[in-house]
């Protein structure tokens, strides 16, 4: 998998994207994934600098919006998830997405940007990790 996606952490709904910051700023795209209107208004005023602090601000505003959003990016042999919601929430929200795209040996990396916690494991371990983080 090389594509990117946004996952709504509250619903598990996901959408494939082109570039995270640009895609989410399109009103029709934001509506598809359930981004609150006030967040869309806030990010629409920020230009994307593609590697700098403005892009990071856009991503953080989206990740913190509503019930939270998860940024997904495929990197050949692994998939990275970035989020600010509790890790257990993110793991549950990613279940449907992973069921559609992951094979048993797909490596997964979950980065909680609020706690700086990173966990990595293969998809075959996903259910065990969900149970482990269900405290």
Assigned domain for 11 exists: no
Q: How many secondary structure helices (H) and strands (E) does the chain include?
A: 6, 6
The arithmetic mean of pLDDT across residues 41-61, rounded, is: 96
Helix/strand/coil for 119: strand
Q: What is the pLDDT of residue 1?
A: 53
**Span 23-44, pLDDT tens digits:** 999 999 999 999 999 999 999 9
**Span 86-115, pLDDT tens digits:** 999 999 999 999 999 999 999 999 999 999
Q: Look at residue 134 and tell me whether its pLDDT is greater than 90.
A: no
Count of domains observed in the chain: 2
Assigned domain for 4 exists: no
Q: What is the pLDDT of residue 83?
A: 98
Measured CA to CA, the distance from residue 9 to residue 131 in angstroms comes to 17
Is the same domain home to 96 and 115? yes
Is the same domain home to 90 and 106? yes
Is the same domain home to 125 and 74? yes
pLDDT class of 3 with cuts at 50, 70, 90: confident
- What CA dihedral angle connects 83, 87, 89 and 91, to 10 degrees? 90
Assigned domain for 8 exists: no
What is the domain range of residue 30?
18-64
CA atoms lying within 13 Å on the CB side of residue 59: 22
**Span 75-88, pLDDT tens digits:** 888 999 999 999 99
The DSSP annotation for 4-62 comes to EEEEETTT--EEEESSHHHHHTSHHHHHHHT--HHHHHHHHTS---SSSHHHHHHHHHH
Q: What is the pLDDT of residue 2?
A: 57
Measured CA to CA, the distance from residue 49 to residue 56 in angstroms comes to 9
Q: What is the pLDDT of residue 135?
A: 47
């Amino acid at each position: 998998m090389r594509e990117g996606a946004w996952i709504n952490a509250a619903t598990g709904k996901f959408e494939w994207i082109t570039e995270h910051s640009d895609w989410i700023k399109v009103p029709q795209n934001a509506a598809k994934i359930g981004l609150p209107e006030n967040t869309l208004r806030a990010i629409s005023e920020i230009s994307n600098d593609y590697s700098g602090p403005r892009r990071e601000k856009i991503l953080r505003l989206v990740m913190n919006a509503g019930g939270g959003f998860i940024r997904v990016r495929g990197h050949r042999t692994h998939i990275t998830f970035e989020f600010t919601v509790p890790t257990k929430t993110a793991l549950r929200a990613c279940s449907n997405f992973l069921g559609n795209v992951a094979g048993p040996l797909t490596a997964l990396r979950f980065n909680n940007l609020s706690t700086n916690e990173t966990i990595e494991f293969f998809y075959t371990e996903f259910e065990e990790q969900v149970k482990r983080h269900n405290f």
